Structure 1
Amino acid sequence: MPKAVLVILLLFVSSYHLQAQTWEVGGSVGAAGYIGDLNPNNPIKPSGISAGIFVKRNFDGYFSARLTYSYGRIAAADSTSSSQQQRDRNLSFTDGLKELSLIGEFNFMNYIPDAGPNRYTPFIYAGFGITGYNPRTTFEGSQVNLRPLKTEGGKPYGDNTVVIPYGVGIKYNFQGKWNLAADLGYRYVLTDYLDDVSGSYIKKSALTSDLSRALSDRSGEVTGNYIGSPGSQRGDFKPRDTYFFLGISISYTFVTQRCYY
């Protein structure tokens, strides 16, 4: 992760010295999903688990900021698609996403655990972050890292990307200073290679190894004939992938001496 981004995240959280403030810590579990070249049409399809931990600064009953570390596992396989064209392409991947993000929240109702006028509130959020990714696939019974194989030629893509999280949720003060929340958040991602698929097939001779050639075009494994002629479409030609986390979180609020009640 770029050091400048990490410094900005830490300074943002530590720079507030407002009179009205509390800290909150918690964790979440749920599901992760992906929308991209191997799942172009279903924006709410989970494909793996997610989990996270966070620390939050509540500035008043409406506004807060949280620093979150999240892990999510996404996957997709052409073999499960309803499209014959995708089944013939026969690509697949899994990817473990590691996200560090700084997110601002806005509550629609004045929400102060154990003291405010409302025990629940819907909320929205947005922010920015960095996500590490590493697409893999299964070939001949073994897991293979796809990045170094350069299956579409050119230079290897990066191992992290800037993301913009945004989403909606609802939270509930179920006991004392304990909170329960559910949310759905999507990530605007500045890469199209979460799944190792983006553009066009290239000449087999331009690929660097037998393994690269085997995993660049896997259509022959199911059709007997390889469909990946140089220059023909391999991905969906959209500029970026997307992923989401759907989760349930539990948290505890620590009230400072100069609290906002």
Structure 2
Amino acid sequence: MKRIIGLFLLFFGFANLSAQRHEIGLKAGMSNLVGDIGRTNYILQKPFNRSISEHGIPFYGGLIYRRNFNPYQSVRLDLGFSHVQFDDRYAQENYRKQRGLFGTNSGADADVVFEYNFLPVNNEQKSMLSPYVFGGIGAMVYSVVRSAQTETDKSGKKIIIAVPFGAGLKYKFNYNWALSGEFKFKPTFSDGIDYSMIDDKETRKNKTNSKDWVNSMTLGLTYSFGRPPCYCD
């Protein structure tokens, strides 16, 4: 993760030298885990009925920096924090419901993605609406805070590599402001986010070979600043 942030800072320095337009802002929404415990909905996973004190809220919040190369193409850095929950009682599979495992996990992440807008929303105009797609690479730092039906202390942190991608809709208004909503899918190279501290024979027996996904549905608000770039249409 230090290398990713270092590369970003170097990139930011070059951005200032070339006087490109920048965007900074905030994003917030809901997150969900797709793993071997609990529901497997990739998006729109409803909060569980257990008490908030037990599971918390499946939340994602973070910061956005975007450098716009031209009206269509951008590179974006997302720095965020997410809290995910997983509970077999709300799964569709019968063996999961009977097993009854549950837990939560929280952690920070950093993603660097390339973003392509289908319309020139980054151009100099008062307002415009455009869908966009994105993809890139990221790192996540997670620690287990609760395991199967047993509260535990944090057992350390682990860095996980992820490959974020997704799609969204960006609305530019009042020249410098932009509102965006997006779905981000983040398959990881780890299969232990949901039960890294759970030692259960039934879990291992029904364990799949697929890795865990940490997905999010968010809204973001950004502000553009800096000297307008010399776009060439």
TM-score after normalising by structure 2? 0.82
Percent identical among aligned pairs is: 23
Which of the numbers 121, 140, 144 marks the counterpart of 1:135?
144
What's 1:216 paired with? 199
Shift of 1:103: 1.3
Offset from partner CA, 1:48-97 (integer Å, 9 cap, x none): 11111111111110111112111111111112323331122221110113
Matched, 1:239 2:210: yes
Which of the numbers 104, 109, 117 marks the counterpart of 1:107?
117
Offset from partner CA, 1:188-247 (integer Å, 9 cap, x none): 2010011026xxxxxxxxxxxxxx8xx534xxxxxxxxxx37xx8445222310011110
Matched, 1:120 2:91: no
Offset from partner CA, 1:97-155 (integer Å, 9 cap, x none): 31111111111011136x23861110011111110111232677x7314757xxxxxxx
Matched, 1:97 2:107: yes
Aligned length in residues: 221
Q: Which of the pair has more CA radius of gyration?
A: 1
Shift of 1:259: 4.8
TM-score after normalising by structure 1? 0.74
What's 1:72 paired with? 82
Matched, 1:162 2:161: yes
Distance 1:167 1:19 in 2: 29
Which amino acid in 1 is paired with 2:125? G
Matched, 1:256 2:215: no
Shift of 1:18: 7.6
Identify which range, 185-194 or 33-42, moves more after superposition: 33-42
Distance 1:8 1:255 in 2: 21
- CA-atom RMSD in angstroms: 2.8
On the 8 A contact 1:109/1:118 being kept in 2, the answer is no
Unaligned runs of 5+ in 1: 149-157, 198-211, 218-227
Partner secondary structure for residue 119 of structure 2: coil
